[in-house]
Amino acid sequence: MRQTLRPLIAANWKMHGDLSWTSKPSDFAAIYPASERGHLDVLICPPATLLASMNDGVLLGGQDCHAAVSGAHTGDVSAEMLKDAGATYVIIGHSERRARGDTNADVNAKAIAATRAGLIPIICVGETENERDAGQAETVVSDQIRASVPDIEAYVIAYEPVWAIGTGKTATPKDVDDMHNAIRAQVGPTVQLLYGGSVKPANATELLALKNVDGALIGGAGLDMESLAAIARAAPKP
């Protein structure tokens, strides 16, 4: 039987967008009205500079946060600041942050900070191509989850195989199914599990139909509201 968790369709805008993009939530709502999507949540995580100016129409989130509430951390943003600017979620431990030095311990501390601020952390995990080729994908991901997920009640896991991000290479439905089943066994029945890595309107239906895929974390295709809406419409009704 398919899962019954509420689908979460999340766009990670990464370092894209200027103030003219702050009307995109209302553009999205015009394409896919809220009255037709009561069964799912749609989230946009814009650059922090845009967060406070974003229009209504979807949920909003940050792309990373510092573990501290405030302090001498030039260039960083705290979870409390994101919350203050309108966020309800924050992405933590994206592979692009891990590649720049975030360890599992950092991700763990940031997830605690997110919870402290009243945000739901979306904790990203995923193996590299070499790790997959060596048959270590499930071990790598379960180790990342063990070390980067603190003892908190509410969180989301995003499985994003590093080799599938921004490459146009999507993991096969069988690979995603196997990994999500393994993650489900590790984290239990109530945690939403998102797949990320070259999700597009053309492959969303197949991926979102998998038993333990409760949504998607979308990069490139989430910059365009027509394609984000097409992906969101592909989410099955629980």
Which residues are known catalytic residues? 94, 160
Among 60, 120, 199, 208, binds ligand 13P (CB under 6 A): 199
Is 75 in contact with 62 (CB distance < 8 Å)? no
Q: Using the structure block, give the residue that is written with the tokens 């369709």.
A: 9
Is 8 in contact with 40 (CB distance < 8 Å)? yes
Q: Which stretch binds ligand 13P (CB under 6 A): 131-139, 149-157, 184-192, 194-202?
A: 194-202
Residue 61 main-chain phi, psi, to 5 deg: -150, 165
Q: Which parts of 67-126 interact with ligand 13P (CB under 6 A)?
A: 94
231 binds ligand 13P (CB under 6 A): no
* Closest to ligand 13P by CB, 2 or 16: 16
* Closest to ligand 13P by CB, 121 or 219: 219
Q: What angle do CA 137, 194, 84 make, to 5 degrees?
A: 125
Cα–Cα distance measured from residue 5 to residue 2, given in angstroms and rounded to the nearest whole number: 9
Q: Count how many Cα atoms sit within 13 Å of the Cα of residue 159 in the half-sphere of its side chain.
A: 31
Q: Which parts of 2-31 interact with ligand 13P (CB under 6 A)?
A: 12
203 binds ligand 13P (CB under 6 A): no
Residue 119 main-chain phi, psi, to 5 deg: -100, 155
165 binds ligand 13P (CB under 6 A): yes
How many residues bind ligand 13P, per CB under 6 A? 14
What type of residue sits at position 212? Answer: N
Q: Which stretch binds ligand 13P (CB under 6 A): 73-81, 106-114, 149-157, 195-203?
A: 195-203
Question: What distance separates the 2 farthest-apart alpha carbons in the chain?
Answer: 50
Q: What's the distance, Cα to Cα, between the start and end of the chain in Å?
A: 11
Among 37, 102, 219, 235, binds ligand 13P (CB under 6 A): 219
180 binds ligand 13P (CB under 6 A): no
* Closest to ligand 13P by CB, 131 or 160: 160
Interacting residue ranges for ligand 13P, rule: CB under 6 A: 12, 94, 160, 165-166, 196-199, 217-221
